[in-house]
Amino acid sequence: MSFWFWHGLRKGIQSTRYPARAENTPGVSPGRPVNTDFSTVEEAQLAAEICPTDAIVAHGKSTYVNPGKCVHCQLCLHSLQSPMNWETGYEWTRLPADGKEALPFPASFAKSMHIMVVDAGDCGACLHEVKQLNNPLYNMHRLGFFLTATPRTADLLLVVGPVSENMRGPLLKTWEAMPTTRKVMAVGGCAIAGGVFGKSFMCACGVSAVLPVDFEVPGNPPPPLAILHGLLVVAGRKSLNSPRPISEGRP
Amino acid sequence: MATHSSPIAGGNIAGLADLTGMIVERFGDQVAQLRAGANFILTLSVGQPSALPTLAQFLFWEHGCLFGGITAEEHSNHWQIHYTFLLPGSGWIDVEFSMALETKTLPSIVTEVHAADWHEREIEDLFGIHFENHPRLGDFVLHDQIWHEGIDPMRKTFSAERPQLERKVDLEWQPLLVVGDPGSFAMPVGPVYEGGIGESLHFLLETVGEDVIRAAPRLFYNYRAVEKIAEGRSIPDALLLAERFAATSAFAHSLAFCLAAERIAAVEAPPRAAALRVLLAELERLRHHAGAIAAICESTALAVAAAQASIIEEQLLRASCVFTDHRYLFGLNTPGGLNRDFELEQCKTLLATVDKAESDLRILERRLRLSSSFLDRLEDVGVVIGESARDLNLVGPIGRASAQHCDLRRACSYSGYGRLAFDVPCETEGDGYARLRILFAEATQSARLIHQVADTLEGGPVRVAYEVNHAGAALGWTEAPRGAALHWLRVDERGIVERYRAITPSFNNWLGFHVAAENFAFQDFPIILATFGLSATECDR
Ligand code: SF4
């Protein structure tokens, strides 16, 4: 059995250098569509029309993307004559669209933050990407992020999924059991705006319909580094994503 | 009984002529009509409901058919209930029964086909059809603490948009406890996990102290009413749902949905698309299995092995992202083929990662075989013997670890699997270790399939025009990473979805979980759970 120890050591350090350095290995992020200026009004119109979730809004020759609504169907990348511009990064964490100014935790949290993860009707992708943060390639422990054993000692509530009716109760109970200094982070398009599930008798159309949300990580699903960026923002160690000023599809 | 003069009499499909003959002999008048169709190799219209249990018993036990599931459809003036069976090597059989909308009772077939249990519970909870003699109806999808009975959300009169604010909830509701020994108690686990990351799911571990006597899962915390909200959407919009209700097997489900949609319009994806679909589906399986192996290692606290398996999984996620622009293969399938084509160069890069993953998995397996303390924790743990697996119709890797050979890629080929060479590994022990071996063996086969497809990839388009201009219904199926996935789709003449039903392997196999989780030590619980590797969200939909 001791051979595992050697095999472990022999692999060397595998973890990403992010956030000290940018991580650019291909495949760590699928990227996402961004605001695009087309050469004709028609092209902009076509881009807006192809989007199944109305995440793209055309305004003259320009299009604006609401990343919270994008479900990453790739239609505006592969099915248009003139595709949308696609950015390759992952530092996407933003404040909720309701304009509330959430502040990150004070500096005392910078070195250690305890996280409670709740799956509120998620399809498995976002949760799986959160799980990846535990694997040696991302290893969130090295940055002082830990999963807690109880909501009583949790600093951050990380919610994935659109909030299914059957999970509304458990989600609220978890939130209520946390200290009031808590922050809430909605991870993924479904947790932000309901994703493909929208609003129905069974879905709340996002976490903000149930709880006050402080930070949002868009993506369908956001890749592990995007979630890690979110954690760093909450801990006050990274700054928010600031897209071109006219965002949110509201020119 | 009226027999159609359709091709079944010729019996070009193995075993079918025999079966038809036997049904005619045994059931005579009870089966009103027997016909072959585009969807099913055989459709049996049953005249009297009393014939359903005996017919089900005959097909499942005497004729060795596999149970697909039950689908209820509400038409303008009648119910249509489909009992789907698979005649392995031949195709799907539909036992169909229609009754007036006012009639809301059916005989249960649970005594005959145990695997129908949850299908009947689901239909009762969502449609309000009562199944006579079913041992336990009521609280299932709609949890009784927060929903009252009689809501029946799948009925056409129920509007999915309107929030159900006034609920007469059952505050007295108590979970059903079976163990009654003095001093016994139940330990709740979930749906929110402390100190870990898990899908929403609740267990009551009934125990008298050291050992757990029984562990019953309570599911549907993630129920998003996908089948309901798909109604009224166009096919491409409903596809978004099919792809995104269970993302860890997104490609398999979107493929099954597209195959159903294509069958309705009598369109077939071009050969290049069919081949690429196999490649992508196997890539998903390989990645899924690497993840499942990592979870098993983690459940036994073998940290280095877990880390190495999860690195393999992440490498495959990255390779998927480089190849398709999405780590979970979203946005590729479309009715009529694929949304995009791939370059040869891209395929080569992918193959290199697949080879690396496959050889890393082999090395990992060899090392695990030498780790006796690891094997001790898996062997004889969570055993499902062959008879139980058959009785509960377990599918996928779990079924194959308990001597159930069925693999839809073989048993009922689709997307060109019939022309490819691969093995369907099978084990008989039915314990945690057998399930782990199956995962490793299948991962190797997936890599083999990916290579075969890449080597023989033809040129040509990846998509044909797709349009629906007539009403219709069809079944699409795939062998998803966790087992058989069946998608039933009915659209009207404008291509608007009237009924969508997704029968998933997790739904199927969670029913059998309690067999594996009987009389075990507390510390084995995570291991049993991990070797089953089921998804709650795939079950809940
Ligand atoms: S990728 Fe996002 S923005 Fe583009 S069409 Fe799809 S949902 Fe809309």
Long-range contacts of A128-131 (CB under 8 A, 24+ apart): A128/A221, A128/B247, A128/B248, A128/B291, A128/B328, A129/A221, A129/A222, A129/A223, A129/A224, A129/A227, A129/B327, A130/A158, A130/A160, A130/A187, A130/A224, A130/A227, A130/B197, A131/B197
Residue A48 Cβ < 6 Å to ligand 1: no
Instruction: Count the alpha carbons within 13 Å of B492 in the hemisphere toward its beta carbon.
Output: 10
Q: In whole angstroms, give the CA distance from residue B260 to residue B268.
A: 11
pLDDT over 70 at B223, yes or no = yes
pLDDT over 80 at A240, yes or no = no
Same domain, A215 and A153: yes
Q: In whole angstroms, give the CA distance from residue B335 to residue B467.
A: 9
The three-state secondary structure class of A132 is: helix
The residue contributing the CA closest to ligand 1 atom 5 is: A51
Provide the residue count of chain B. Answer: 541
- Give the A window 20-49 contacts with B, CB below 8 Å: 25-31
Instruction: Kindly state the average pLDDT of the residues A36-59.
Output: 86
Measured in Å, residue B496 CA sits from the centre of ligand 1 at 22
Phi and psi at B458, nearest 5°, equal -85, 160
Indicate the domain borders of chain B: 16-132, 185-218, 226-532
* Local confidence band at B7 (pLDDT 50, 70, 90 cut-offs): very low
Q: What digits encode the pLDDT tens for the residues B281-327?
A: 999 999 999 999 999 998 888 888 888 899 999 999 999 998 888 99
Instruction: Kindly state the average pLDDT of the residues B63-80.
Output: 88
Neighboring chain B residues of A167 at a CB cutoff of 8 Å = 191, 200, 221-222
* Local confidence band at B445 (pLDDT 50, 70, 90 cut-offs): very high
Same domain, A65 and A121: no
Neighboring chain A residues of B191 at a CB cutoff of 8 Å = 119, 167, 170
Q: Which CATH architecture has domain B16-132?
A: 2-Layer Sandwich (3.30)
Same domain, A118 and A227: yes
> Of A20, A55, A87, which closes a domain?
A87
Q: What digits encode the pLDDT tens for the residues B227-259?
A: 988 888 899 889 999 998 888 899 999 999 999
pLDDT over 70 at B194, yes or no = no
The three-state secondary structure class of A176 is: helix
Instruction: Kindly state the average pLDDT of the residues B11-36.
Output: 70
**Tally of domains within chain A:** 2
- Give the A window 131-170 contacts with B, CB below 8 Å: 131-132, 134-137, 147-151, 161-162, 164-167, 169-170
Which residue of A72, A116, A129 is in closest CB contact with B330? A72
CB contact under 8 A, B228 and A200: yes
Q: What is the ipTM of this complex?
A: 0.88
CB contact under 8 A, A27 and B244: no
Q: In whole angstroms, give the CA distance from residue B517 to residue B525.
A: 8
In B, minimum Cα distance to A158 occurs at B197
Q: What is the pLDDT of residue A248?
A: 41
Q: In whole angstroms, give the CA distance from residue A69 to residue A230.
A: 18
CB contact under 8 A, B310 and A150: no
Q: What is the pLDDT of residue B184?
A: 77
CB contact under 8 A, A174 and B223: no
Instruction: Kindly state the average pLDDT of the residues B420-426.
Output: 87
CB contact under 8 A, B318 and A27: yes
The three-state secondary structure class of B112 is: coil
Q: Which CATH architecture has domain B226-532?
A: Orthogonal Bundle (1.10)
Instruction: Kindly state the average pLDDT of the residues A82-98.
Output: 84
Residue of A4, A160, A163 to mutate, interface with B, max B Cβ within 10 Å: A4
Q: Is the residue at A246 inside a domain? A: no
**Domain containing residue A195: CATH number:** 3.40.50.12280
Same domain, A179 and A81: no
Q: Is the residue at A7 inside a domain? A: no
pLDDT over 50 at B263, yes or no = yes
Q: What digits encode the pLDDT tens for the residues B27-45?
A: 777 776 677 666 677 788 8
Q: Is the residue at A10 inside a domain? A: no
Which amino acid would we find at residue A243? P
Q: In whole angstroms, give the CA distance from residue B304 to residue B457.
A: 38
If you write DSSP's letter for every residue of A39-88 in order, what string do you get? SSHHHHHHHHHH-TT--EEEETTEEEE-TTT-----HHHHS-SSPPPEE-
Q: What digits encode the pLDDT tens for the residues B83-97?
A: 998 888 778 888 888
Q: Is the residue at A241 inside a domain? A: no
pLDDT over 70 at B480, yes or no = yes
Name the burial class of residue B97, with classes exposed (0-12), middle (13-18) and buried (19+) by CB atoms within 10 angstroms of its CB.
buried
pLDDT over 60 at B267, yes or no = yes
The alpha-carbon gap from B143 to the nearest alpha carbon of chain A, in Å, equals: 7
Neighboring chain B residues of A130 at a CB cutoff of 8 Å = 197
Q: Is the residue at A93 inside a domain? A: no
Average pLDDT, whole number, for chain B? Answer: 84
Q: Is the residue at A194 inside a domain? A: yes
Measured in Å, residue A75 CA sits from the centre of ligand 1 at 6
Measured in Å, residue A245 CA sits from the centre of ligand 1 at 20
CB-CB contact of B20 with B10 (8 Å): no
Which residue of B163, B321, B331 is in closest CB contact with A27? B321
Residue A46 Cβ < 6 Å to ligand 1: no
- Give the A window 82-111 contacts with B, CB below 8 Å: none
Q: Is the residue at A215 inside a domain? A: yes
Q: What is the pLDDT of residue B446?
A: 92
pLDDT over 80 at B148, yes or no = no
